């Protein structure tokens, strides 16, 4: 059983009460008497219902490597679920206020080999086991509901596979993974989506293609180092396309591109304003696990990932030939590459650790198709049409493989619909899972 920290602290915000929880859990759930790590979670309950015996819902954030949301009042999806639940916003292992795994803390583990061995325990299967230990503490053993966004949805499918007895119902938004899709397969499907999203952006903002090309040509000729130390190469610049998977991302990218250059004594240079905004999008200082474990989230067949996104990119030469042919400059995003260990300051100290994780073999399964086929837990999933980050075809196949799962396929939202849609996405999923829609 995890141990809750004494002296829990509660604070009030408009419309809700927030309470801190801290637990200790095994680093390796196969060695429960071994090393322990700490998990942090923030309980949120509506002020008017703070004294009620409400069912619990745990929110699993996207990523990997992202902390749970920090609420300010009853905003977005939280406003809807607080009508019915006491919510636990869990910082997954290694993130937020849980025992952190960053360039600052990982050297305490020892050598890169020891760091890689440590991080091998930070995948969805371990997160599910963490949740089960925490559930026993906070609900008294009663099943709880799960809302999984993006990678949190991947974790929810692992939860359905290996601990369905802990679940009352599951809501998934933008996070139905391919049950047997390896990293190469995932990225082979991703690059065409990146191309489509880029071309759709240029249809909306026709001048942006010339602006993006000018920036890329400038970066090919001149080194630019951003204020946070990021070396902005043409390939790093391409990764700003990660914005195109969000509801307002195309507009944000447009405003970023339109003010890229300023005149200086040394000629046109990228503006500090551009650099600051670009660094905020590209930085992995707060979530290095995204880069370190991104491909490992798809590794299940024992094979090493070996920088799958970088290898698969060679199959799509249009992402590199814009200089020679005049074809449109294409953005990327949602991919991790070995050159990032040189260009991104938060990853440079972890270079060898990242290489070892890319070379690591023996990754075990994350899902149990047989268990999912006989699933009895009510499940509803929002699938976003042409989602940049999660392949729609994979999601639909998985939806058919999970017994009883109800889907809502929509092009009204992008990948972050649960946030940008206010309470609409959460409400639709709740109605589906309750057979009210």
Give the residue-averaged pLDDT of 76-95: 96
Distances, alpha carbon 410 to alpha carbons 60, 93, 166, 174, 431, in Å: 22, 32, 29, 11, 16
Cα dihedral 102→284→340→413 (10° resolution): 140
Give the residue-averaged pLDDT of 314-321: 92
Tell me if 81 sits within 8 A of 87, measured CB to CB: yes
- Domain boundary assignment for the chain: 10-179+367-433, 183-359
* Whether pLDDT at 1 is above 50: no
Strand pairing report for 16-26 and 36-46: antiparallel
Tell me if 184 sits within 8 A of 400, measured CB to CB: no
The rounded percent of the chain whose pLDDT value lies above 90 is 93
* Whether pLDDT at 2 is above 90: no
Give the residue-averaged pLDDT of 54-80: 95
pLDDT confidence of residue 4: 41
pLDDT confidence of residue 279: 95
The pLDDT tens digits for 177-208 are 999 999 999 999 999 999 999 999 999 999 99
pLDDT confidence of residue 75: 87
Phi/psi of residue 385, nearest 5 degrees: -60, 125
Q: Tell me whether residue 29 is one of the annotated catalytic residues.
A: no
* Whether pLDDT at 348 is above 80: yes
pLDDT confidence of residue 321: 76
Give the residue-averaged pLDDT of 154-165: 98
Strand locations in 331-405, DSSP E?
379-384
DSSP state of 71: -
> Average per-residue pLDDT in the chain?
95
Phi/psi of residue 364, nearest 5 degrees: -95, 175
Place of tokens 């938060």: 346
Strand pairing report for 261-262 and 167-173: unpaired
Phi/psi of residue 363, nearest 5 degrees: -60, 130
Tell me how crowded residue 107 is: count the other CB atoms within 10 A of its CB: 15
* Whether pLDDT at 343 is above 70: yes
The pLDDT tens digits for 360-378 are 999 999 999 999 999 999 9
Burial 171-181 (b: 16+ CB within 10 A, else e): bbbbbbbbbeb
Question: Could you say which of 337, 415, 416, 427 is catalytic?
Answer: 415
Give the residue-averaged pLDDT of 284-310: 96
Q: Which CATH architecture has domain 10-179+367-433?
A: 3-Layer(aba) Sandwich (3.40)
Side-chain-side CA neighbours of 354 within 13 Å: the count stands at 24
Question: Could you say which of 91, 125, 130, 387 is catalytic?
Answer: 387
- Torsional class of 164: left (φ above 0), alpha (ψ -120 to 50), beta (otherwise): alpha
Give the residue-averaged pLDDT of 423-437: 95
Pairwise pLDDT comparison (172 vs 325), residue with the higher score: 172
Question: Could you say which of 98, 150, 161, 250 is catalytic?
Answer: 150
* Whether pLDDT at 323 is above 70: no
Copy the structure tokens of residue 245.
Answer: 């998977």
Q: Tell me whether residue 322 is one of the annotated catalytic residues.
A: no
pLDDT confidence of residue 357: 98
For residues 256 and 259, give the distance between their C-alpha atoms in angstroms, rounded to a whole number.
6
Side-chain-side CA neighbours of 250 within 13 Å: the count stands at 19
* Whether pLDDT at 389 is above 50: yes
State the DSSP string of 271-317: -HHHHHHHHHHH--SS-HHHHHHTGGGG--SS----SHHHHHHTT-G
Q: Tell me whether residue 150 is one of the annotated catalytic residues.
A: yes
Quick one: pLDDT band at residue 408, thresholds 50, 70, 90?
Answer: very high
Quick one: pLDDT band at residue 326, thresholds 50, 70, 90?
Answer: confident
């Amino acid at each position: 059983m995890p141990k809750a920290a004494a002296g829990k602290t509660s604070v009030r915000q408009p419309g809700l009460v927030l309470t801190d929880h801290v637990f200790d859990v095994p680093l390796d759930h196969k060695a429960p008497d071994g090393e322990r790590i700490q998990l942090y979670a923030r309980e949120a309950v509506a002020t008017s219902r703070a004294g009620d015996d409400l069912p619990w819902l745990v929110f699993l954030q996207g990523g990997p490597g992202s902390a749970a949301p920090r609420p300010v009042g009853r905003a977005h999806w939280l406003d809807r679920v607080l009508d019915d639940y006491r919510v636990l916003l869990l910082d997954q292992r290694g993130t937020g206020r849980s025992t952190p795994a960053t360039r600052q803390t990982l050297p305490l583990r020892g050598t890169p080999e020891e760091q890689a061995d440590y991080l091998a325990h930070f995948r969805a299967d371990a997160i599910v086991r963490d949740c089960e230990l925490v559930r026993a503490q906070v609900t008294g053993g009663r099943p709880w509901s799960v809302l999984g966004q993006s990678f949190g949805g991947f974790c929810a499918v692992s939860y359905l596979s290996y601990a369905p007895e802990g679940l009352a119902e599951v809501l998934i938004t933008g996070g139905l993974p391919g049950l047997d899709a390896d990293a190469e397969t995932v990225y082979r499907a991703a690059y065409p989506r990146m191309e489509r999203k880029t071309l759709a952006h240029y249809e909306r903002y026709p001048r942006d293609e010339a602006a993006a090309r000018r920036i890329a040509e400038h970066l090919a000729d001149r080194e630019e180092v951003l204020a946070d130390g990021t070396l902005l190469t043409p390939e790093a610049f391409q990764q700003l396309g990660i914005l195109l998977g969000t509801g307002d991302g195309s507009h944000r990218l447009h405003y970023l591109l339109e003010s890229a250059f300023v005149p200086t004594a040394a000629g046109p240079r990228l503006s500090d304003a551009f650099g600051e905004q670009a660094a905020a999008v590209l930085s992995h200082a707060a979530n290095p696990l995204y880069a370190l474990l991104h491909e490992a989230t798809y590794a299940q067949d024992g094979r090493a990932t070996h920088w799958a996104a970088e290898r698969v990119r060679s199959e799509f030469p249009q992402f590199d030939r814009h200089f020679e042919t005049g074809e449109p400059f294409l953005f990327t995003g949602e991919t991790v590459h070995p050159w990032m260990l040189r260009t991104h300051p938060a990853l440079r100290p972890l270079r060898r650790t990242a290489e070892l994780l890319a070379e690591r073999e023996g990754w075990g399964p994350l899902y149990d198709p047989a268990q999912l086929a006989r699933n009895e837990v009510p499940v509803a999933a929002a699938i976003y049409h042409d989602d940049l980050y999660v392949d729609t075809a994979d999601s639909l196949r998985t939806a058919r493989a999970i017994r009883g799962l109800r889907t809502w396929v929509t092009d009204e939202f992008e990948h972050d619909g649960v946030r940008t849609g206010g309470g609409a996405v959460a409400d639709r999923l709740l109605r589906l899972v309750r057979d009210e829609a």
